[in-house]
Amino acid sequence: MSQSLAHDLNTVTLFERLGGAAGIRRIVDGTVAAHMCNPVIKARFQPYEDQPERVEEIKQHTCDFFAAGSGGPDQYQGRSMAEAHRDMDIAAEEYEAAADDIMTTMTALNYDAALRDEVYGILQSLKDEIIHK
Ligand code: HEM
């Protein structure tokens, strides 16, 4: 067996370890629900409460973003992170609150600490594109 085929057979992508599209959807649903009651950032998301179609579109884009970035088959069709968040003036404290909501949701869904740390590292790598400087 060639080296690269052996490698492909042994590599389980992050997408698969997150439980594929269904796992990512559960994380995104739980995280959006957590954002809606997180005192640091809820004001950012509450205006969308009466726009269920827009919420669904944002959730779909977020699912695709994580799927595309973790080795899944989906294409991301939304805006770049810098473009989507540029005009929001997001503070570092808000960024940490959003990342905490993702970690809390992953804990509630029984993802282990190693997987949570891996996702947290990816989130940190996006920070500069999202917060206001
Ligand atoms: C690593 C952290 C984050 C990721 C990966 C992320 C990801 C995304 C994605 C994929 C979208 C959809 C873009 C589109 O539909 O074109 C989005 C939209 C949005 N994000 Fe984030 N985001 C992050 C952090 C934050 C933070 C910290 C806030 C505010 C506290 C925030 C507030 C929003 C809002 C309000 C929208 C809707 C924008 C609109 O309707 O135009 N995001 N985000």
Work out the pLDDT band at 5, boundaries 50, 70, 90: low
pTM comes to 0.92
**Does position 7 have pLDDT exceeding 80, yes or no?**
no
CA 24 to chain centre: 8
Please state, for a pLDDT cut of 70, what percent of the chain lies above it: 92
**What pLDDT, on a 0 to 100 scale, did the predictor assign at position 11?**
83
As for how many domains the chain has, the answer is 1
Q: Residue 59 C-alpha to ligand 1 middle, in angstroms?
A: 9
111-126 mean pLDDT: 97
Q: What is the CATH number of the domain that holds 55?
A: 1.10.490.10
Which among 18, 56, 58 is the best mutation to test ligand 1's pocket, defined by most ligand atoms within 8 Å of the CB? 58
* Domain of 75, in residue numbers: 3-130
